[in-house]
Amino acid sequence: MTNYPQRLSAFVEAMNAWPADFVIELGDFVNGWVVLGANLGDPYRIPQILEEAEAIYARFDGPRYHVIGNHDVYNLSKEEYLERVNITSTYYSFNAGAYHFVVLDVQYDEEGNDLAYTYTGVRGFLPQVELDWLCEDLSSTDDPTIVCVHQMLDTEPTQAGWTLIGNNKEVQGVLAESGVVIAVFQGHDHANRYSLIDGIHYITFEALVDEGAPPSWAKVTLDQVSRTIEIEGEGDQAYWHLEY
C-alpha cells in the first residue's frame, strides 16, 4: 500500500514510546506484484520496497521479528526475502522474559516445496521437516508459549472455501499435545478474529496498512503471575483480555 511508510513509522514510534520489549510483524511485509503505483505484474520495485520497509522497522529500539506471509513470496524467493529482512531462517523460536515464542513458515506446497514467485498463492502447508522441528522445539520448554503464523491455523472450509493451511488440524494437534502453547497469533485476514481450540487462544490481528481504515496494531502484555494475555488495540484492533 502506498501509505506504508507513514503507518509503519507511526507503529515504530508508538512501540519505542511504550516501550515494547520487542516487536513482531505477522507477515505480508511487502505486498508483491499488486503494489499500487507499479504496472501490474512488474516486480522490479519489490526488493527496494522491502528494503525500505525493513529500514523503517529497524528504527525500533529493540529486537524485531518477522513472520513470512504469502505476499512476501509473490515476487521473491525465500532466500531473497531473508536477505532483505536480515534474518537467517523463515521459522525459528526465541525466549522473552518468562515466555517462549515460535515463528512458523507455512509458505510451502503440499509436497513440502518452498513457495516462491507464486503471484497469487494463498494456501500454505507445514511440511514434515518443520513439523518435526516444531515438536522438538515445544518439547524442549516448559515456558508458556505463543506461536506466530501468517495464514490462520483455525480457519475451516466453511469460512474460506478451503483450509488456509492444508494440514492445519495436524498442527493444531501438535500444539495442544505439547501442553505449553497458550496462544496463536495470526495475520492474513486483515480483520479481528478469535477462537478457542483445545484451550488455546487463536487471535487474528487487524492489518496495519488497509486503505480507508486507520493504522492498526496491538500492544500485548503477558503476565505470568495472573496468567493473562492483554491485547490493547490501536485503530480498528479489538481489545482482548484472555486467561490461560
pLDDT for the residue 122? 85
* CA angle in degrees (0–180, nearest 5) for 227-222-59: 175
pLDDT for the residue 34? 67
pLDDT for the residue 36? 62
Cell numbers for 19: 516501550
pLDDT for the residue 38? 65
pLDDT for the residue 118? 85
HEC string of the chain equals CCCHHHHHHHHHHHHHHCCCCCEEECCCCCCHHHCCCCCCCCCCCHHHHHHHHHHHHCCCCCCEEECCCCHHHCCCCHHHHHHHHCCCCCCEEEEECCEEEEECCCCECCCCCECCCCCCCCCECCCHHHHHHHHHHHHCCCCCEEEEECCCCCCCHHHHCCCCECCHHHHHHHHHHHCCEEEEEECCCCCCEEEEECCEEEEECCCCCCCCCCCCEEEEEEECCCCEEEEEEECCCCCEEEEC
Which of 18, 43, 22 shows the shortest CA–CA distance to 32?
Answer: 43
- Contact by Cβ (8 Å): 85, 41: no
CATH for 4-243 is 3.60.21.10
**Half-sphere exposure of residue 127, counting CA atoms within 13 Å on the CB side?**
13
Give the C-alpha separation, 51 to 85, whole Å.
7
pLDDT tens string for the chain (244 positions)? 678 899 999 999 999 999 999 999 999 999 877 666 666 667 788 899 999 999 999 999 999 999 999 999 999 999 999 999 999 999 999 999 999 999 999 999 999 999 999 877 789 999 999 999 999 999 999 999 999 999 999 988 777 777 899 999 999 999 999 999 999 999 999 999 999 999 999 999 999 988 789 999 999 999 999 999 999 999 999 999 999 9
Max Cα separation, the chain? 53
Q: Are strands 200-204 and 181-186 parallel, antiparallel or unpaired?
A: parallel
Q: Would you list the domain boundaries of the chain?
A: 4-243
- Contact by Cβ (8 Å): 23, 62: yes
The type of residue at 119 is Y
Which of 146, 231, 244 shows the shortest CA–CA distance to 193?
Answer: 231
